[in-house]
Structure 1
Amino acid sequence: MDKLRTLDSKDLKLAINKCQESYKLAVDFLTNELPLSSKAYLPYNLQLTLLVIFFDVCPKPTIEQRDSLKRWFWITSLTSYFGSSNYTLMRQSVNNMKKYAETGYLEYITINKTVNYHNFLNSQFSFKSAASKTFALILASKKPRSLLDGNPINTIETLAIINKNEYHHIFPKNFLSQIGVIKRKANLHTNVCMTSLSNNRSISDKAPSLYFQQIQQLLGDKTYDILETNFINREAFEMGLNNEYEKFIIIRQNLISDYIKTLVEQ
C-alpha cells in the first residue's frame, strides 16, 4: 500500500483500469465456466482474488489453463483448502498463481490435499458453510430438473440468492423424525436436491414411498432421465419407494462421489 504513494495519478488510473478488467475476466470465468451466478455461493473470497491475479497476468488463457483453473476451483472448494487461511498460505497462493499464469506449469496450482468424499457428502446442509455452497454448485452443474414435473431448474436464478425453499430434502426431515432418524442424520448433503418452489410445497413432508409413486405417474418413461439429473438412479429410487433411508444415502453418496471425481481429476 505504501508504494501506491509513489505513483502519479496517471499510473494509478492505469492500474485501476487494469484491475477492473482483470476482475471482469475472473467473474466471466466463474459465471461461464462454472455454475456460479452470485458471490453468495462463492465458497471462499480468496478464490476470486487469486483468479483476478491470474487474469491480470494472463488475460487470454489457453483451454488447458481454463480447465486446470476449474479443477483448482473444485479441489480448493471440496478440500476446504482456504478454510483456515493465514498470511503465509495467502502469500504462497498469490505467488503460485502468478507463476502459473506466467508459465502454465501445473505444479504451481497443484493442491496436495485429497478430497474426503465421505466427510463432504455427509456434512450438515447449511449455507453458513463453504461445503454446502460447494455442494449446491455441484447440484447445479448437473443441470437438474424438477422431480414432479421434469422442468429444467433455472440454476442461474436459484444461485442468485440463497433461498432454502429451492432445496428439497428427498427424505423430508419431519418424516425421518417420525421414524426415529435424528436431525443430524436427516440433514446430510446426500439427502438434498434442487427443486422448484412449487414442487417443494407439493411434496412437503410426504414419505418418499408416496411421492416417488407420484413421480412415476407424472413423468412416465422419462422418470429415470429426470432422476439422473438429481443423482438418483434406479436403485436409489427403489430404496425411496421402500422408505429405505440408509441404503438410499449410501447409493446416492456413491453416485455423487463418482461425479465429483470427474470434476477434480485430469
Structure 2
Amino acid sequence: MDGLPIRRVIEHVISGSLRIPAFQRGFVWDAERVAFLMDSIYKGYPFGAAILWRTKEQLKTERALGPFTLPDRQPEYPIDYVLDGQQRLTSVFGVFQTEIPADGDTSWTNIYFDMEASENFQDSRFVALDPQEADLERYFPIGTFFDVLGYRNATKGLDAQKASLIDSVQATFKEAQIPIQYIETDNRAKVAIVFERVNRMGVELDVFQLLSAWTWSEDFDLQNKFTELADDLKPFGFESVGDDTNLLLRCCAAVVKHDVSPGALVSMDGSEVRDRFSEVENGIKGAIDFLRNNFNVESLDNLPYSTLIVPLSVFFAVGQGKSVKLSTSQRETLIRWVWRACFSRRFSAGVIRNLNRDIEEAQKLRTLGKSALAQINVSIDAPFFSEQFSVRTTNTKTFVMLLAHSRPLSYVSGQPISLASVLQNYNRNEFHHLYPQAFLKKLEYAAPEINRLANFVFMSSQDNKTLGGVAPSIYRGRMDSVAVPKILERSLCPASLFDDDFEAFIEDRSQMLVDAAKRLIGS
C-alpha cells in the first residue's frame, strides 16, 4: 500500500490527475466529521485507505470534488479516479488548498486547532468554527498549514509557547501520509467488481451509477435527459428529482424492465432506454402530479421515501401523447399503498425486493384495474408518535404528511395555512411545540420528552411568538376563541391540550393520530 503526503494530494487535484467519476455520490460530510478526521491524522490513528483507479482513458462524465470544479488534466498524466475515500480526500483538499475557488458552501473547511485544550487520546483538539466567532488567541486556523504567507501571518501574534506548539502540529500534517491503494487497469469489468465490493455495505444503486455511466455513455447522454426533466419539474418544486441519479435510474429500470436490480440495468442498452424515455418521463411526471394532488407534497424533501416515485412511475408510464385515466378504485389503492408504505417503513430495508414486488403490482393495477399493491402489513400504535421530531427522518416526514392531510389552520388567526409555501421551504422553523419548551423545562422535562412527535404541529415562528412560552391554558386566550374547536380538529389535537397535563395530553393526542392514520391505511 502506498501513501500520499497531503501536499501531493493537493498537487494531484490541482493538476487534474485526481478526479471523481460520475458514478460516485457527492460530498456529504459536515464540519464536525472533517474536524474528527483531522484529529485522527494528527494523532496517527487509522482512518482507512483511499482506493484509486489509475487509467489512461478519461471518462465522459465526471463529478466535482465537493464544491470545487476540477481543472482539465495535463495530457501526459495518467488519471486516478477515486473509487473509495472521496469524503476523506475532499476533506483534506478542501481544508488545506488555496488555489481553486469554490462553487458552493465551504463552511465545513473552517477547522481550527484548540491550543488550550488538554492533550488526551479520546477528545479531539480540532473544532469547526465560524471564522467571525473564532478567538484566534485560542483557536488556530489549520487551513494555513500549507500556505507560507498565510501561516506566517497567522502565527506572528502567538507567544513563544503557542508558536512552538503550532509548529509541531504543522510538522505532523506535513509529514502525514494518506494511505492509498491503486488499481492500475483499463479493464472496466475488473473496476466494476472492485467498486461493487467496496460499496457492498452501502446502497445498491452505487453499482447502478457505475454501470450506467459505461453502458450508455456512447450513444445516449442520460444525464442531459435528466437535466431537461429537472427543468420541466422546476415549476412544481421537484427539480431536485433531476439531481437524484439513483432515483431516476431506478425509474428507468422499473419502466423498461419492471426490475430494479443491478442485473436488470446491465441488460439494458442506450437505444432501449432512449426509445422508451418518453414513457419514463411521463411516468415520473405522473407520479409527482399524483403525490402533489393527493398528499400535499411540494418537494422531494417532503416524501418519507423518494423511492415511492418508482412504482408510481410504472403505473403512469405511457408513451408520448397518451395519459393514464385513474378510476376511483385505482386512485384509492394507490393512496392506501402510499400511506401503508410510509407507516410500515417499507423502504428502510429489503429495498429491491419490496420495490420489485410493488412494481409488478402497480403494473397489474394499471392493466387489470386491480392488484394486491396496497396489501402491505402495517401496525400503527401510540409509540410511533413518541419518536423524536427531526425533519429529515422517515417517521417525522410521515407525521408531517398526516398533519398536512388534515389541512391545518393557524393557531392564532384560525385561517388556513398555506401548505404550498410551508412545504416548499421545508424546515424545522415551520413546526413548533404545542406544549412550549419553556413551560415544560420549568416542569423539569428533558428534551427527548419535549420533542416527541405528538407535541408538534404546523405553526409559524410568528404564531409561536404570539402564543409565547406559557401554559396552553394561558395561551388559549391569545387564539381566535370562535375558531379554537376547528383549529384543534384540523391539527388532530384533543381538547385536553388546555388542561396543562402534558402526559395526559401526549396520550390523548397520540391516540388521535393513530386513529387518523388507521383511517388512511384502511384498517
- Conserved in 1, the CA contact under 8 Å of 2:305 and 2:342? yes
Deviation, 1:102, is: 2.5
- In the alignment, what sits opposite 1:30? 291
Q: Distance in 1 between matches of 2:280 and 2:300?
A: 18
State which of 142, 146, 156 in structure 1 corresponds to 2:406.
142
State which of 229, 246, 251 in structure 1 corresponds to 2:503.
246
- Conserved in 2, the CA contact under 8 Å of 1:167 and 1:192? yes
- In the alignment, what sits opposite 1:73? 338
The 1:20/1:211 distance shift into structure 2, 3 A limit, reads same
Give 1:50-199 correspondences, 5 Å limit: 50-56=311-317, 59-111=324-376, 113-199=377-463
Q: Distance in 2 between matches of 1:163 and 1:173?
A: 18
> Residue type matched to 2:465 in 1?
R
- Conserved in 1, the CA contact under 8 Å of 2:409 and 2:491? yes
Deviation, 1:90, is: 2.8
The structure richer in strand per residue is 2
The 1:92/1:211 distance shift into structure 2, 3 A limit, reads same
- Conserved in 2, the CA contact under 8 Å of 1:224 and 1:233? no
Secondary structure of the 1:168 match is: strand
- Conserved in 2, the CA contact under 8 Å of 1:71 and 1:264? yes
Q: TM-score, normalised by structure 2?
A: 0.46
CA deviation string 1:41-64 (max 9, x = no partner): 111121111110111268222111
Gapped runs of 5+ residues in structure 1? none
The 1:97/1:183 distance shift into structure 2, 3 A limit, reads same
- Conserved in 1, the CA contact under 8 Å of 2:361 and 2:373? yes
Give 1:225-264 correspondences, 5 Å limit: 225-234=486-495, 236-239=496-499, 243-264=500-521
- Conserved in 1, the CA contact under 8 Å of 2:311 and 2:355? no
How many residue pairs were aligned? Answer: 255
The structure richer in helix per residue is 1
Gapped runs of 5+ residues in structure 2? 1-264
- Conserved in 2, the CA contact under 8 Å of 1:43 and 1:77? yes
Secondary structure of the 2:304 match is: coil
Q: Distance in 2 between matches of 1:109 and 1:256?
A: 21
The 1:200/1:238 distance shift into structure 2, 3 A limit, reads closer
Greater alpha carbon shift after TM alignment, 195-204 vs 75-84: 195-204
Greater alpha carbon shift after TM alignment, 205-214 vs 147-156: 205-214
- Conserved in 1, the CA contact under 8 Å of 2:468 and 2:475? no
> Residue type matched to 2:304 in 1?
P
> Residue type matched to 1:97 in 2?
A
Deviation, 1:249, is: 1.1
- In the alignment, what sits opposite 1:47? 308
Secondary structure of the 2:432 match is: strand
- Conserved in 2, the CA contact under 8 Å of 1:75 and 1:264? yes
- Conserved in 1, the CA contact under 8 Å of 2:493 and 2:509? yes
- Conserved in 2, the CA contact under 8 Å of 1:122 and 1:190? yes
Secondary structure of the 2:276 match is: helix
- Conserved in 2, the CA contact under 8 Å of 1:212 and 1:237? no
Bigger radius of gyration among the two: 2
Deviation, 1:13, is: 4.0
Deviation, 1:73, is: 0.3
Q: Distance in 2 between matches of 1:75 and 1:86?
A: 15
Q: Distance in 1 between matches of 2:502 and 2:270?
A: 64
> Residue type matched to 1:88 in 2?
R
Secondary structure of the 2:292 match is: helix
- Conserved in 1, the CA contact under 8 Å of 2:435 and 2:455? yes
Secondary structure of the 1:82 match is: helix
Q: Distance in 2 between matches of 1:199 and 1:126?
A: 20
RMSD of aligned residue pairs (Cα, Å): 2.0
Q: Distance in 2 between matches of 1:258 and 1:156?
A: 26
> Residue type matched to 2:455 in 1?
N
- Conserved in 1, the CA contact under 8 Å of 2:302 and 2:397? yes
Q: Distance in 1 between matches of 2:399 and 2:351?
A: 24
- In the alignment, what sits opposite 1:18? 279
Asked if 1:202 corresponds to 2:466, the answer is: yes
Q: Distance in 2 between matches of 1:220 and 1:205?
A: 19
Task: Report the identity percentage.
Answer: 26
> Residue type matched to 1:141 in 2?
H
- Conserved in 1, the CA contact under 8 Å of 2:286 and 2:316? yes
Bigger relative contact order (CA 8 A; separation at least 6): 1
> Residue type matched to 2:368 in 1?
T
Deviation, 1:2, is: 4.0
- Conserved in 2, the CA contact under 8 Å of 1:146 and 1:199? yes
> Residue type matched to 1:208 in 2?
P
Q: Distance in 2 between matches of 1:47 and 1:75?
A: 11
Q: Distance in 2 between matches of 1:202 and 1:220?
A: 15
Secondary structure of the 2:482 match is: helix
Secondary structure of the 2:348 match is: coil
The 1:245/1:6 distance shift into structure 2, 3 A limit, reads closer
> Residue type matched to 1:263 in 2?
L
- Conserved in 2, the CA contact under 8 Å of 1:171 and 1:245? yes
Q: Distance in 2 between matches of 1:199 and 1:48?
A: 34
